[in-house]
Amino acid sequence: MSFDLVFFGGTGDLTWRKLLPALFQAWRHHKLPEGGRILAVARDERSDDEYRAFVRERFAAVDSSKRPNEAEFDEFAQLLHYRRMDLSRPEDYTGLKAWLAERGADTALMYLATSPYLFPVICEQLGAAGIVGPHVRIVLEKPLGHDLASAQQINRVVRSVFDERQALRIDHYLGKPAVQNLMALRFGNALFEPLWRREWIANIQITLAESLGVGTRGDYYDRTGALRDMIQNHALQLLTMIAMEPPSSSAADAIRDEKLKVLRSLRPFTPETVARDVVRGQYRAGSVAGQAVPGYLDEVKVPAGSRCETFVALRTEIQNWRWAGVPFYLRTGKRLAGQDAHIVVNFREVPHPIFPGTRRANRLVIKLQPEDGLELHLLAATGGSRDELLSPVSLDLDFDRAFPSERVGAYERLLLDAIAGRLNLFVRSDEQEQAWRWVEPVLDAWNNDPTGPRPYAAGSWGPAAASALVARDGCAWAEEQ
């Protein structure tokens, strides 16, 4: 299958840091379809060879295991091409149309790795130039809008040019192997599904923690914040995967229909419940991995006195029969104690304990980052005494060890799916808008709250109020158990 893949924002951070290395890995693993061309589009004047040299230089910063050697890069670079384009000029799209028509590839993929405010402009110009056809798809990077109204405006423009099945809204967390295995865990095995409900599960925690600060992206991050950056998309998508009902099939829309039902069942926020069930924080100076780091307000390009949140913890519930009364805790933040993304399913304690020793409920930990895997925490008899004592034990599945030759990175998987037109791991517009609809009352409440975010020391797990949030229900975060 021949394909043309066009990166709008072809010299940007995302393209050279994530997308091109992922494509190189697909090429190295012989999974990239034959007959492909990759076109980078940007405002600078460059030749193909100058762009290839630009990419070669930046590949030096890629993780060593994913870095091409000289011979590999020379061969891969033959796929790379470059065009200078002003994204507001119709004549530049005419030139792009001519480039695409040179050979008429089976599939043309337009990847918008630009600022979201350019999405409507690019879509309208693609439509006006006659580039859009049944073989053309568009990939939209997050953030898709700044609020519900802007997200709806972007979707209106996209739908005026592309069919819903041609518009792929990407969330790279859905490409992670452990997230894909959520479906296999729940719907490919009979072990957990009978227990996957309020009678047996006490609470579910989703943590997306980063040890890094905002770096040089202070101006962008300050306009976004942790709620928009991580909760509205990544965390809510994980929540839908963990909580949805069994779909009728593995077809994309069957899965996305069930995810949408979860989003619509989330308990809506009011100003009172925001004050009670949502904690926002902002990191101050501290120490991470033994190194002193500055506070958020001292970071480059962060406005003085900013009230932007770098941490969010919240409690919610899903109002349906399966999950009624089960707390779901979502947490994300920058400059936390570790780089750690995981989902913890805490089961209820046995109804009548008959063994002395540790009384600890079973836990299933789905590890997303830095490693992918599953841990099942159980209790077992220690032996050697008259009264059997129970001690914690765990069953540990490391996906890297279990499938050493079949590992595919998140962006690699999603790019291959986008080229092939597989939609299962992409977000539909109604899902995305419903997620905005749910978080918007939180944003509104914060706009009317003069207190601002709570301070927390860099290198900690966030404000103490986040621990108090779960302690109200007699629970604790995973690192505190």
Question: Is there a domain that residue 150 lies in?
Answer: no
Asked if residue 295 lies in contact with residue 458, where contact means CB atoms within 8 angstroms, the answer is yes
Q: What percent of the chain has pLDDT over 70?
A: 98
Residues 85 and 218 in one domain: no
Q: Which two tokens stand for residue 360?
A: 């600890």
Any binding-site annotation on 229?
yes
Q: Which of 32-36, 79-83, 141-145, 457-461 has the lowest mean pLDDT?
A: 141-145
Pairing of strands 291-293, 286-288: antiparallel
Give the range among 55-69, 104-118, 276-290, 394-408 with minimum mean pLDDT: 394-408
Q: How many CB atoms lie within 10 A of CB 121?
A: 13
Claim to verify: residue 122 and residue 212 sit in the same structural domain: no
Under a CB-based contact definition with an 8 Å cutoff, are residues 469 and 313 in contact? yes
Cα 162 to Cα 399: distance, rounded to the nearest angstrom: 37
Count other Cβ atoms within 10 Å, centred on residue 3: 21
Rg over CA atoms, the chain: 24
- Tell me if 161 is assigned to some domain: no
> Does residue 363 share a domain with residue 252?
yes
**How long, in residues, is the chain?**
481
Establish if 320 belongs to a structural domain. yes
Q: What is the mean pLDDT of the chain?
A: 92
For the cut 60, the answer to whether the pLDDT of residue 386 exceeds it is: no
Return d(Cα 444, Cα 433) in angstroms, integer. 16
Answer whether residue 403 shows pLDDT above 90. no
Six token digits for residue 108: 């043309």
How does pLDDT run across 39-72, given as a tens digit for each residue? 999 999 999 999 999 999 998 888 777 788 899 9
297 annotated ligand binder: no
Residues 39 and 188 in one domain: no
Q: Which two tokens stand for residue 431?
A: 């899902």
- With cut-offs at 50, 70 and 90, classify the pLDDT of residue 119: very high
CATH code of the domain containing 241: 3.30.360.10
Q: What average pLDDT does this structure show over 236-249? A: 96
Residues 423/251, Cβ–Cβ less than 8 Å: no
Same domain, 133 and 185: no
The last residue of one of the domains, among 85, 120, 141, is 141
Mark whether 135 and 178 lie in a shared domain: no
**Residue 382: its pLDDT value, please?**
73
Same domain, 106 and 180: no
In a domain, 247, yes or no: yes
Q: Is 376 helix (H, G, I), strand (E, B) or coil?
A: strand
* Catalytic site includes residue 234: yes
Q: Are residues 459 and 354 in the same domain?
A: yes
Question: Nearest Cα to 7, choosing from 425, 418, 409?
Answer: 418
Q: Greater confidence, 105 or 384?
A: 105
Query: Contact 347/363 with Cβ under 8 angstroms?
Result: yes
Domain boundary among 117, 141, 165: 141
pLDDT single digits (tens) 410-469: 899 999 999 999 999 999 999 999 999 999 999 999 999 999 999 999 999 999 999 999
The verdict on residue 41 lying in a domain is yes
**Where would I find the H helices in 278-426?**
399-402, 410-420
- Whether 443 maps to a domain, the answer reads no
pLDDT at residue 404 above 80?
no
80 known member of a binding site? no
- Check pLDDT > 60 for residue 9: yes
Render pLDDT for 89-104 as a digit per residue (tens, 0 to 9): 999 999 999 999 998 8
Residue 87 annotated in ligand binding = yes
Q: Which two tokens stand for residue 179?
A: 């997230």
Angle, helices 119-128 vs 148-161, to 10°: value is: 10
pLDDT-derived band at 400, boundaries 50, 70, 90: confident
417 is in an annotated binding site: no
Asked whether residue 120 falls in the same domain as residue 242, the answer is no
What tens digit of pLDDT does each residue of 170-179 get? 998 888 888 8
Q: Which residues pair with 397 in a beta bridge?
A: 374
Q: Work out how many domains the chain is built from and give that number.
A: 2
Please tell me whether residues 226 and 98 are part of one structural domain.
no
pLDDT at residue 39, rounded to an integer: 97
Tell me the pLDDT tens digit for each residue of 345-370: 999 999 888 887 667 899 999 999 88
142 annotated to bind ligand = yes
Closest CA to 364 of 208, 480, 205, 197: 205
CATH code: domain of residue 122: 3.40.50.720
Catalytic residue among 234, 342, 352, 377: 234
Q: Which domain holds residue 130?
A: 3-141
- Assess if residue 149 is contained within a domain: no
Tokens of 49: 């060879």
Strands 36-42 and 3-8: parallel
Please give the Cα distance from 180 to 36 (Å, whole number): 26
- Cα–Cα distance, 265 to 236 (Å, whole number): 12
102 annotated to bind ligand: no
43 in a known ligand binding site: yes
Is 136 part of a structural domain of the chain? yes
* Location of structure tokens 């499938």: 403
Q: For residues 25-33, give the mean pLDDT.
A: 92
Residues 40 and 186 in one domain: no
- From CA 387, how far away is CA 357, in angstroms rounded? 9
Based on the fold, state whether residues 375 and 308 are members of the same structural domain. Answer: yes
- Domain termination residue (choose one: 141, 161, 187): 141
